[in-house]
Structure 1
Amino acid sequence: MPLHLRHLLLTWTLAPGVLSAAPEVHLWKDKPPGDLPAVKEGAAPTGRMNDDERMTDVAAPTLTWFRPEKPDGRALVVCPGGGYQILAIHKEGDKVAERFAKEGITVAVLHYRVPAKNTDAADAGPRQDIAEALRQVRAEMKSKGFASGKTGVLGFSAGGHLVLESAYGPMPSGAERPDFVVAIYPAYLTDKAGVLKPEFAITKESPPACFFHAADDKYPADASAQLWRKLHDAGVKAELHIYSGGGHGFGISEPNPDKPWTLWPDTAASWMQGMRK
């Protein structure tokens, strides 16, 4: 979808309390460093998948800003999921940004590179993208007078894996870590034996995190539990919420007390209140 058309659609449908969604802006001025996605000739870059809008063939990563009416200094980079092959840009992207912008958080949705050219290193390009996104978001907040504000990351599935890597995993040289992390049903955290991968290095200085997972997820909730335990044992502030149902990919939807996993945004918003200072 052309960037200007996507901006118009966002502007017309913003939730109350969200001042504006700025046009999508390219993350990199020139060609992104490293590998570019394996773009398929003639493939449609957007479409429907599992009742959600999806995007693929992202060779030029972008940020879309969602600015609250009354910013409180916090910022959030949102990373949709999609197995490093596509991006679920609605229920794990735009709608999530709207929800948290209403809390006073300045939100930027990152459309990182997909699909992966090398499936053995599917996160290589996206790791560069999220590092640059964090740098730009912090610079933007500083320019608005929020130099001391905290900038966090929130991601789903593959995006959950990506935000956790940005906080605790191997990142490009000089990359800054986020101030806090929210991971919703993160994937790819463990090896085939179900053991947490050694790439996640935790110290007492690591950023705090909040996890949300379903017990019936095809990517076991125990993976989130293992990483939560490492954080807890290191003395890092961390929360873990495991729901009995919900499966994988529930994203954001209308809150329903009969479906507790739909209430995660309220819990996350409450937890992020503690990230004001």
Structure 2
Amino acid sequence: MTIDRRSFVGASLLAGLTIARGEGRAQTAPPHAPGALPPGLPQPAETIDLWPSGAPGMPTPPPVETVAERAQDPLVTDRAVRGIARPRLVVFRPDRPNGGAVLLTPGGGYKHVVVDKEGYEMARWLAARGFTAFVLFYRLPGEGWAQRADVPLADAQRAMRVIRQRARAFAIVPERVGTMGFSAGGHVCADLAARFATRVYAPLDAADALSARPVCAAPIYPVVSMDPAIAHVGSRALLLGPAPSPQSEAAHSPDRTVPADAPPHFLLHAEDDAIVPVDNTLRLRAALKGRSIAVETHLFTHGGHGFGLRKALGKPVEAWPELWRAWARTCGLG
């Protein structure tokens, strides 16, 4: 991936005053559920609001953010957040930055965004290995937003640009920002990798002069196709509404929108996934191969859906994070 250095430097200079003002403004806290947190598990405190003047297309009344704790074990958290009116990045900084960054888009079927299993746990893993991790809490399309089907993509595009705008503050090389997403967040990830140049919101500031193209993309057990034959029913309904047209289904199926300059992809799925059929990943792989885009694919016999890190333990699929890390080095991210 290449980013025009003059454009990056110019946008950074123009953004200097904006960044200074933004960093001085209170940011929205990370999602938090009532009750005590497990001891010894570091919780993030640093956030970046994506839309300082409010997210575009705000419904009336605005969504009210709520966080539910779903775990039964007091030593484990499994939070889910909905009603995200202030989309934001939650930042995990490594002790020794390696110059790479990963935008994480957790799943939740577009009805909520999971906090821990596909967000903070993966972010801690990445930060421990030198990557700066940004967990994106994106807007949910079924909560009344204008242009509902493009709302998650708009947040993902804006997040990539804001990360690059602030690259120096995080010791990040702006060309070395990848993305990883899980389940419905895998759809956000794949959609970003396919439609990074599609205009889905009006430019706001100097950050929007920067590219939203990730250097590499890793959709993990992703929702991909909106074809009713293999689509995840809940994600499709919440993203597109109750009666989408064939044109809408095609426009929001990343396997049907892959451009010639899409980034390299790492694909991972368990063949016994009973929630999101493995055909979603197979269709995306075929589309990428058809465009001669580099793609590495790992299919595991067992793993089910939503294994992340914690549910992969003790199974062959637990090797997947290190497989991703080895592949990321080939893309210049590691």
The equivalent of 1:25 in structure 2 is 48
Q: Which whole-Å deviations, capped at 9, do the CAs of 1:236-260 have from their partners, x for residues lacking one?
A: 111111111221111221763x412
Q: In structure 1, how many angstroms separate the alpha carbons of the residues matched to 2:306 and 2:222?
A: 10
Q: Which whole-Å deviations, capped at 9, do the CAs of 1:7-27 have from their partners, x for residues lacking one?
A: x9799624xxxxx94522322
The aligned amino acid for 2:56 is P
Structure 2 CA distance for partners of 1:116 and 1:50, relative to 1, 3 Å: farther
Structure 2 CA distance for partners of 1:249 and 1:38, relative to 1, 3 Å: farther
* Partners of 2:79 and 2:116 within 8 A in 1: yes
* Partners of 1:39 and 1:115 within 8 A in 2: no
- Give the CA deviation at 1:188: 4.3
- Give the CA deviation at 1:136: 0.8
The equivalent of 1:34 in structure 2 is 57
* Partners of 1:37 and 1:113 within 8 A in 2: no
Which of 1 and 2 has greater Rg? Answer: 2
The equivalent of 1:260 in structure 2 is 316
The equivalent of 2:218 in structure 1 is 182
1:141 correspondence with 2:153? no
- Give the CA deviation at 1:5: 8.8
Q: Which whole-Å deviations, capped at 9, do the CAs of 1:177-203 have from their partners, x for residues lacking one?
A: 2121011111142401349x6433224
The equivalent of 1:158 in structure 2 is 184
Q: CA RMSD in A?
A: 3.2
Which structure has more helix as a fraction of its residues? 2
Q: In structure 2, how many angstroms separate the alpha carbons of the residues matched to 1:120 and 1:29?
A: 18
Q: In structure 2, how many angstroms separate the alpha carbons of the residues matched to 1:10 and 1:136?
A: 31
Matching residue within 121, 124, 127 for 1:95: 121
The equivalent of 1:228 in structure 2 is 285
The aligned amino acid for 2:29 is L
- Give the CA deviation at 1:89: 0.6
Structure 2 CA distance for partners of 1:72 and 1:11, relative to 1, 3 Å: farther
Q: In structure 2, how many angstroms separate the alpha carbons of the residues matched to 1:246 and 1:228?
A: 20
Q: In structure 2, how many angstroms separate the alpha carbons of the residues matched to 1:26 and 1:128?
A: 14
* Partners of 1:59 and 1:114 within 8 A in 2: no
Q: In structure 1, how many angstroms separate the alpha carbons of the residues matched to 2:146 and 2:303?
A: 29
* Partners of 1:62 and 1:110 within 8 A in 2: yes
Q: In structure 1, how many angstroms separate the alpha carbons of the residues matched to 2:50 and 2:109?
A: 21
Which structure has more strand as a fraction of its residues? 1
The equivalent of 1:13 in structure 2 is 41
Q: Which runs of 5+ in 2 are unaligned?
A: 1-27, 73-77, 202-207, 232-248
Structure 2 CA distance for partners of 1:122 and 1:148, relative to 1, 3 Å: closer
Structure 2 CA distance for partners of 1:255 and 1:247, relative to 1, 3 Å: closer
1:193 correspondence with 2:229? yes
Q: In structure 2, how many angstroms separate the alpha carbons of the residues matched to 1:272 and 1:37?
A: 42
Percent identity among equivalent residues? 29
1:108 correspondence with 2:134? yes
